[in-house]
Amino acid sequence: MFKRINTKNENVIAQKEVMPHLKKFTNYCTILNNEIISNKEDLGIYQNYVSMDIWQIFRKRKCNNVLLVGNPEISKMSVVRNIAKSIVRKECLLIFNDYFVISIDVYNLVTDNKYNDDIEEILNIFRDFLKTKENVILFFDNFYKMIVSDQLDYYYNFLKSLLLIPNVYIIASVSTAEFQEEFMNEKIIDRNFSIVEVKSPKIREVKHIVKYKIKELEEHHDITISDEILDYLIINVCSMQGGEYSMEDVIDTCDMAMVNAIDYERNSVKKEDVNSVFKFNYDLYNTMEEKEKKITAYHEIGHYFMNEYSYLKKYRNIAVVSVIPITNGILGANVIEDEDIFCPSNKEFYDSYIDCLLAGKVAQKLVSAEDDDGCEEDMANARMICKEMILRYGMVNNRNFKNISYYDNIKNEYENMSQVMLEEYEKCLIDYIEARYNRVKNLLNRNIERIAKMAEYLMENGIVSGYELKQLFFKEDM
């Protein structure tokens, strides 16, 4: 039953055997096993944890198909390529060694056949082919397109028929918004699929993921890029995209930086070439007044510093600190990456969260006592967290609020709270925020020299990684 394909030649033969049977479906299919062999692609550590989850789901008796859910900029294809890579290298479980992975381009399938009356026949050809084969993993990218298609009935029946074929597993991918809109309560999904969340790769993983693509660019342009400059390029991409970036963004930026280096007749990429890609942003920074740069630097360093001294440190990592404007309205940024460990939502967690939010305002007050610009959103978020601590979780020790309904009074804008109780609540919230503010202020004042050095270093460089700051200014603490 489980026939092993042991050589590259046999994989090629398998592809030749498969493709004629697909007929009209051929244009929309790619056998990833052979693509991995021919490209010698190494996907490294990226999304390995997701791949492990998928192998476990395949072994279940029920709900043994997978629905990958994640933001649009996160590549779900790379997860499936990792599955194919494991099969080709015989690194998967023995029972999956002879499986081949077929990627189906749903977008073009649906678009090309929107007005095609033969779509049912095309789908039936593929389904009948699968019935004659064993051991197939199907990947439906852009799965949402099938669900919102005008020919939904055909695709729906096609999917149901695929689920009945033994030894055929399905991996489908949708964005988080698409999942919430169409798939949250869909019965066919609930009964047959397990949901797997796909997260953005950590910054420390990106270089390993893109290294082969970067090598191709180096050969194409006949130019080199050092590891140090590539790290600098990655944190720039991450910061300018607000932390929501894709591997394609990194590769495209590297491509453009190499073009800039060639224009200046250089043999290797320099920092200036990377900065030229984000010329608009760096020009904005250069037009800022010195005082504004300093206030922004202190603000961002305040957030970073407080995170390093708080309970949140082991649960989240500030990967990038930047004072380079993303837009005219956003003058700096901290890019936060959550660590892959469970974080309990206790009082210490919420207190630390409030402290980190307040630290930006406290730090910039060290430079300008009157200036509150850029703190409004942080203060609003701190008040919202404190509000939940008081009314929802009872974490603030005030007996007057023990029997107050959270849903009545937060979600219905306090209609059921008396004026006296509302005033008591406002006083409690202000007092609690003020107590946390004073605690953060004392900590930052005790470390004012270190914060000043960090802010100066950030102003000089514009953008730095959290790891770099940690090595330079927290080495003794480590």
Coil, strand, or helix at residue 432?
helix
* Highest mean pLDDT pick, 106-120, 270-284, 414-428: 270-284
Look at residues 147, 169, 197 and tell me which one is the last residue of a structural domain.
Answer: 197
Per-residue model confidence as pLDDT tens digits over 216-266 = 899 999 999 999 999 999 999 988 887 777 788 899 999 999 999 999 999
Per-residue model confidence as pLDDT tens digits over 176-222 = 888 888 777 778 888 889 888 887 778 887 888 788 789 989 999 99
Q: Are residues 362 and 268 in the same domain?
A: no
Q: Are residues 235 and 115 in the same domain?
A: no
CA distance 320 to 311: 19
Of residues 333 and 22, more confidence is placed in 333
Looking at the structure of the chain, the number of domains it has is 3
Check which CATH number belongs to the domain holding 115 and give it: 3.40.50.300
Q: Are residues 260 and 357 in the same domain?
A: no
Look at residues 252, 277, 302 and tell me which one is the last residue of a structural domain.
Answer: 277
- How much is the CA Rg of the chain, to the nearest whole Å? 27
Two structure tokens written together for 283: 């020009």
The whole domain housing 308 covers 287-473
Check which CATH number belongs to the domain holding 256 and give it: 1.10.8
Is position 3 within any domain? no
Q: Is the confidence at residue 399, as pLDDT, over 60?
A: no
Coil, strand, or helix at residue 128?
helix
Spell out the alpha helix ranges (H) of 59-98.
Answer: 77-88
| Confidence at residue 229, expressed as pLDDT on a 0 to 100 scale | 94
Is position 292 within any domain? yes
| Confidence at residue 6, expressed as pLDDT on a 0 to 100 scale | 42
Mean pLDDT, to the nearest integer, of 106-132? Answer: 78
| Confidence at residue 477, expressed as pLDDT on a 0 to 100 scale | 52
Q: Is the confidence at residue 52, as pLDDT, over 90?
A: no
Is position 39 within any domain? yes
Mean pLDDT of the chain: 81
The pTM assigned to this predicted structure is 0.74
Is position 1 within any domain? no
Coil, strand, or helix at residue 338?
strand
Check which CATH number belongs to the domain holding 414 and give it: 1.20.58.760
Is position 2 within any domain? no
